[in-house]
Structure 1
Amino acid sequence: MNISIKDKIYNDLMKFKSKKILLGHSGGLDSSVLANILYDLKIDFSIAHCNFQLRGKESEDDFKFVSKWSKENKIPFFYSKFSTKKYCQINKTNIQLSTRDLRYNWFFELQNIYKFDFVFTAHHLDDQFETFLINSSRGTGLKGLLGIVNSKKVYRPFLNISKKEIFDFAVINKISWRNDKSNYENYYLRNKFRNKIIPEIEKIIPDYLNKFKNTIDNLNETNLFMKNSIKKIRKKIFKIENKIIKVKVKSLLKLEPLNFYLHELFYSYGFNSKELEKLLSSNTGKQLFSKSHRILIDRGHLILKELVKKKNETYLLDLNEKKIESPVKLNFKYVSKYDKEILNHNFASIDLKKIKEPLILRKPLSKDYFYPIGMRGKKTVSKFFKDEKYSIYDKENQWLLVSNNDIVWLVGKRLDSRFAATKNSIKVLEIRCVL
Structure 2
Amino acid sequence: MVAFKSKMVESISLPSRDRRERNLEAAGYNVFNLDADEVFIDLLTDSGTGAMSDAQWAALIRGDESYAGSRSFDRLESAVADVMGFSHVIPAHQGRGAENVLYGTLLSSGDVVPNNTHFDTTRAHVANQGGEPVDCPVEVAFDPDADDPFKGNTSLARLREVVDDVGTERVPLIVQTITNNSTAGQPVSVENTRRVREFADEIDATFVVDACRFAENAAFVSRREAEFVGEDVGAIAREQLSYADAVVMSGKKDGLVNAGGFVATDDPDLYERCKERAILYEGFPTYGGMAGRDIAAMAVGLREAVEESYVFDRIDAVDEFGSMLADVGVPVYEPVGGHAVYLDAGTALSHLPCEVFPGQAFVCELYREGGVRGVELGSFAFPDTDRPELVRLAVPRRTYHREHFEHVAETAERVLEKRERVSGLEITSEPEIAELRHFTAGLEPIPS
Q: Which has the larger radius of gyration?
A: 1
The structure, 1 or 2, with the larger RCO (C-alpha pairs under 8 Å, 6+ apart) is 2
Higher strand share: 1
Please report the TM-score for the alignment, with normalisation by the length of structure 2: 0.25
Higher helix share: 2
